[in-house]
Amino acid sequence: MMVKILANDGISKSGQAALEAAGYEVDTTTVAQERLAEHINENKVDVLLVRSATKVRKDLIDATKGNLKFIGRGGVGMDNIDVEYAREQGMIVQNTPAASTRSVAELVFAHLSGMVRFLFDSNQQMPLEGETQFKALKKNYSAGTELMGKTIGIIGFGRIGQEVAKIAFGYGMKVMAVDPYVEEAEVKLSFFDGQSVSFKVKPQSMDEVLANSDFISVHIAGAQKALIGKEEIEKMKDNAGIVNTARGGVIDEVALMEALDSGKLKYAGLDVFENEPTPAMKVLMSPYTSLSPHIGAATLEAQDRIGTEMADHIIEAAKGW
């Protein structure tokens, strides 16, 4: 059968090529949310591909269930899709959890590496005062630290958490982890020449990890309440740093800002925020935060993998239609 696909939030060229090679029709038109159901029904669309911009809620599912068979979310989170309801209506809902693993893990260390050498502040101050206050700035940023020999606590030791551990081992760091669903994990660090070395990581209690880590990196899905709040921050080492590339709201931003302002914590790297796409101004203006606008999965390589991984899912699912 001819499979019609609407990639409403786009798809990589490699993913599109794979689908078209299978004989499918791929439409990359971006249809406005309010016209989406009408467009799907008029064009008899079988597959709707989205990222984070398009919402697939109950009303859209109800309006299109005569045509729509497959909803694909490029990336990991599916907060913008009523997943269980769609599946109850017989639709397949699929994401691409593996595609952006490395991208997110590398962003963690982009923040960490910049934080320990104050690059987040230096990059702002050098254009303003570098010409006239070079020596003063040099003195301000002379108390940087190295990552080698430090301990990183990884909260959530799934696919991304373990990828973070690989990079940490490469830096010469000690790795601690928290994950109630992982008894022990073998983390294999592969090198360019085919050699590899494996490390076994046995997750420990949250209290142990908070108390002994120089840096905390969070890798869990959204929770009903903040996982890291005032109580958890108090258990952390003085002058520790924290990075969140997981979900906004996992860290209590009010408690985090208080800890940074008081000197309890030294810095924080944030790629996700409680109030996206309008983060709190106090967070944005803090002199202790390294910030990025939710770009964890936004690398060219990840986008390419997302497209091809999703194409594989669609081609496999279409065998049963």
Q: Is residue 66 located within the same domain as residue 193?
A: no
Q: Is residue 162 located within the same domain as residue 105?
A: yes
Long-range interactions of 22-31: CB distance < 8 A, separation 24+: 22/311, 22/315, 22/318, 24/314, 24/318, 31/6
Q: Rounded CA gap, 7 and 72, in Å? A: 9
Q: Is residue 221 located within the same domain as residue 91?
A: no
Domains of the chain: total? 2
Residues serving a catalytic function are 247, 276, 294
Q: Is residue 281 located within the same domain as residue 263?
A: yes
Parent domain of 21: 4-97+300-318
Q: Is residue 86 located within the same domain as residue 132?
A: no
Q: Is residue 143 located within the same domain as residue 182?
A: yes
What's this model's pTM, rounded to 2 decimal places?
A: 0.89
Residues 250 and 228: beta-carbon distance below 8 Å: yes
HSE, side-chain direction, 13 A CA sphere, residue 172 = 4
Could you read off the pLDDT tens digit of each residue along the chain, which spans 321 residues? 799 999 999 999 999 999 999 999 999 999 999 999 999 999 999 999 999 899 999 999 999 999 999 999 998 889 899 999 999 999 999 999 899 999 999 999 999 999 999 999 999 999 999 999 999 999 999 999 999 999 999 999 999 999 999 999 999 999 999 999 999 999 999 999 999 999 999 999 999 999 999 999 999 976 678 999 999 999 999 999 999 999 999 999 999 999 999 999 999 999 999 999 999 999 999 999 999 999 998 999 999 999 999 999 999 999 999
Residues 27 and 6: beta-carbon distance below 8 Å: yes
Q: Is residue 247 located within the same domain as residue 189?
A: yes
Q: Is residue 115 located within the same domain as residue 251?
A: yes
Q: Rounded CA gap, 179 and 177, in Å? A: 7
Q: Which tokens sit at 32?
A: 């406005």
Sheet hosting strand 174-178, strand order edge to edge: 174-178, 151-155, 215-218, 240-244, 265-270, 289-291
